[in-house]
């Protein structure tokens, strides 16, 4: 797999969530994703950016346009150094919430993308990586 281009965007405020969403939409358009795939990926990115800010205390969005064989994709990694997630299995359960949302953020995001990875260490932070292939 090779990286065609990449960048990092800070997620420190509500405005940064808007900017991240706009950047992801622009990238999916450049990759000529269908409108449905654009919407799914932007929705997942928006949810994860919001989680990064609200639960992780802010962090960064690392994005990469990638090439694997003959297919192109967009890979996003949301990384924070917040409190982490003590029980990943529970956090990935539909309907589970830490008290602020609908409980669809992580599990819902996973259903909207092709590849989903999550790593979290209590006290050290969380990284969620999602990929959508063209």
- Residue-wise pLDDT for 52-86, tens only, equals 999 999 999 999 999 999 899 999 999 999 999 98
CATH architecture observed for domain 2-133: 2-Layer Sandwich (3.30)
Q: 34 Cβ partners below 8 Å, 6+ apart?
A: none
Give pLDDT, residue 86: 86
In this prediction the pTM is 0.92
Identify the pLDDT of residue 98. 60
* Spatial strand order in the sheet of 2-11: 2-11, 59-68, 71-80, 125-133, 115-121
Task: Give the mean model confidence (pLDDT) for residues 15-43.
Answer: 97
Q: Which residue has the higher pLDDT, 80 or 100?
A: 80
Residue spans per domain, the chain: 2-133
């Amino acid at each position: 797999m090779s990286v065609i281009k990449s960048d990092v965007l800070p997620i420190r405020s509500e405005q940064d969530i808007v900017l991240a969403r706009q950047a992801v939409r622009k990238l999916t358009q450049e990759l000529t994703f269908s409108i449905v795939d654009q919407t799914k990926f932007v929705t997942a990115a928006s949810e994860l950016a919001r989680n990064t800010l609200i639960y992780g205390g802010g962090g960064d969005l690392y994005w990469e346009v990638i090439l694997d064989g003959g297919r192109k994709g967009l890979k996003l990694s949301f990384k924070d150094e917040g409190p982490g997630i003590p029980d990943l299995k529970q956090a990935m359960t539909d309907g589970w919430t830490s008290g602020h949302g609908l409980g669809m953020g992580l599990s819902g995001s996973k259903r909207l993308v092709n590849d989903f990875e999550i790593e979290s260490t209590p006290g050290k932070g969380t990284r969620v990586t999602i990929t959508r292939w063209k």
